[in-house]
Amino acid sequence: MKLTERIIDSLTCPPGRRDRLVADDVQQGLYIRVTSTGSKSYLAKYTLHGKTTKLPLGSRAALSLRAARSAAATVMGARAIGVDTAAVRKEQAALARVSAERERLTLGVLVTAWKQLHLAQRRGSYSDEAVRALRHSFAAHWGKPAESLDRRNAVAALDALQKAGHPAMASRTGAYGRALFQWALKRGALLANPFSSLPAIGPSVKRTRVLSDAELVAVWQAAVAMPPPFGRIVRLLALTGQRKSEVGEMPWSELSEDLWVWTIEPERTKNGARHVVPLSEPAAAILREMPRVEALVLPGDRRGSPFSGWSKAKARLDGLSGVTDWRLHDLRRTVATGMQRLGIRLEVTESALNHISGSRAGIVGVYQTHDYADEKREALNSWAQHIMDIVGRPQSD
């Protein structure tokens, strides 16, 4: 039948049938489809490699007969050279969906998913530091598609950190970025990792800062003058030698009822091993000052959250103490060095600080299972007594 606009107007679907197809004698492969509800639309019908396909072209209301014939002619022309227009359209639609999904997958969205789905099994301090470092270095990309962050962007950001004198931070940020994009690659969310095989980052200067007794006294006295919880965190760091995150995020559930033993759970330690810390009387006395109103011993301003104002509080501590050019982590090195001066054996010091290296590394660490419980208590008590002694006497240096 040679279709005309008037004939199309008169076409109806026979009773009892769902639809009716009427071929156009003018253009091969063009059909008008009339449904039982009265709707009418054009389609191209063709056979390729033994498979018959009905490809929708558009509704009669949106497409003129002339335009429908032109569209069908294009489809049939493609079919003549072996191109399946329906398959091409399907592939293009799939690519469009993937592109749209990647547009929605901004760097910020990806990092959030990484934190929730992958970093949930890591220490809270690692998770928070990884997110903070990536947000700081790639703030300009945070709201852009993650795949738009390319190797050039990654190198530029890490170079900026090195030029600012932060090679260690550049190295860690590069590691965080590499882990993030590798996770996304394995999930099929992205196709490339801009952090893989980056230029080597210059070696960072190994810190050797140890506070002298006079500096330790000044820091201790300034910490006493500061409001909780920061001042108490600093004093506990000085007494126990444990890591900042371990002290700052300490829950009451890790402490014995009498406050003489602190057992840090594996998910909160750097090496993933449960660590028992005997507490000296000065350390227990600090803990007794804290009310048991929250799950955390040293909570921050926001209920249920650990202390978070580290930089501002540390700056105030420096101002009060007069001690500069040091980090809170240097207290850990100060404890280790101080114990050495007191004649405490290296393996006991490492056990007290949960530091698996040196005497506790390799095959020795595998077969040496002695926990040094008594030796650790004696060592930490001796160190605490040393602090109490120097805090109570005038410092000449």
pLDDT 10s digits, 187-224: 888 889 999 988 777 655 567 899 999 999 999 999 99
Separation of first and last alpha carbons in the chain: 108
- pTM (2 d.p.): 0.57
pLDDT at site 197 = 84
The distance of Cα 295 from the centroid of its chain, to the nearest Å, equals 25
Q: Report the mean per-residue pLDDT for the chain.
A: 89
CATH T-level fold of 213-391:
hpI Integrase; Chain A (1.10.443)
Write the pLDDT tens digit of every residue in 230-260: 999 999 999 999 999 999 999 999 999 999 9
pLDDT of residue 357: 58
Render the burial of 9-47: b for 16+ CB within 10 Å, e for the rest: eebebeeeeeebeeebeebebbbbbbeeeeebbbbbbbe
What kind and span of H or E run contains 34? strand 30-35
Domain ranges of the chain: 5-92, 107-186, 213-391
Cis peptide bond upstream of 203, omega within 30: no
Q: What is the CATH number of domain 5-92?
A: 3.30.160.390
Which pLDDT tens digit goes with each residue over 153-185? 999 999 999 998 888 899 999 999 999 999 999
Say which residues have a Cβ less than 8 Å from residue 68's Cβ, sequence separation at least 6.
Answer: 27, 30, 42, 57, 58
At 366 the pLDDT is 40
Are 249 and 125 in contact by the 8 Å Cβ rule? The answer is yes
Determine the Cα angle at 350 with ends 344 and 356, to 5°: 160
